[in-house]
Structure 1
């Protein structure tokens, strides 16, 4: 069997209309989601892009869509050799690996998305094509800013106070600097208050041992099936960088042959291609693609 990893997208991969073709096959999960959230995933996914991009809506919509698509693949007899997710996508990965059930995962995603949506006083900017040594040196010398998403060698996101993020953008020359439409400094120490509140919920949640190894955002070089370890790593996730570039390199080093992105968009396969160009890439973002796989 091909050694493959299923990868699950995070915030930024959402698209208007996503999941609509799953209405019938995912009927039970959409109904359960509406009960938990108090609003309809299918209705929200048909709103405009600005509304869908709000954190409190984006994260549950992505989680539910990925969960249903992974169910379709499993019902066909497909099984990953490992799973990983980008930020929010790690919750989809944990569901796929049997660490949490659908409802438990969505309850966590709901609380996480609300806490992150309520965050304020921070900023995030994506940098494309830059001198990494210069960037790392500038961050080391500047307070209140971190490398939040290390996506590939030439694409990162910095996070911190507005002043600190602007300072880095002024110091480091890049091809493009794109401010992100977020309320807070996600994946930085500035999320400590929200993270502490969320940690209480995580500690009360039962995490089963995984039936498939999970590669974590905060420990990208150590896939594990331990539910306790995965919970401990998830507690750190909100204030820690997403080390996706290292995850991609780990996949190549460990002999994975194929990366299958399960969920909306093609962001993650694009990032994997930059760091691990020898991996075969597949995108499963629709019911038709899942059935044909």
Structure 2
């Protein structure tokens, strides 16, 4: 038996019952990892885990609402009891704040007229939720010989691209919720990377690209499998891999 058969890596992905998170779970399971499907809805989480198992992967559902720190703590206790450690954390769960409208076309996020409750809700999931889950899982990640954290960001969070008058976002409505939440997530990624560098924990942000998912009302042009590729690459970095970076499949993204 190979070492990876006897000691598979354990990966937890938040918001993994559908979309990019689900595709990342399938790909990590195909690499031989034991995948923990984080989902708010236990039934949907179990359905996704069963689908991964049906394809030959090892997957288990974990009830986890990133806006409820108690569920993050309970999930950490489950992981500790069953596996004793965590090797990979993918902070994938996120919301646009604009329902089924892509955040890039959302006029309800224009800064001068935005609803503050919507901004709070987006930051609660996309930023504070990442802190809650990461901190709950850090003691388990520290027990891994090669811990990796991947925060799922977006090109919409790039200050460089957003501030370029000739850039890709100038023709779109300004955003006071989704885009700034991803900018904050990028900044948070750098701070975690700085703190955890000495411990060998690599922390990076991923831009999956414009993927066909529910979050943008299926207007994206990439498949979820294509979007998940960069998540998987960052989740499986070698010891000499980068930390504190922001990457798409095509390489480094501008901050």
- TM-score of the aligned structures, taking structure 1 as reference length: 0.27
Q: Which has the higher contact order (CA 8 A, sep 6+)?
A: 1
- TM-score of the aligned structures, taking structure 2 as reference length: 0.30
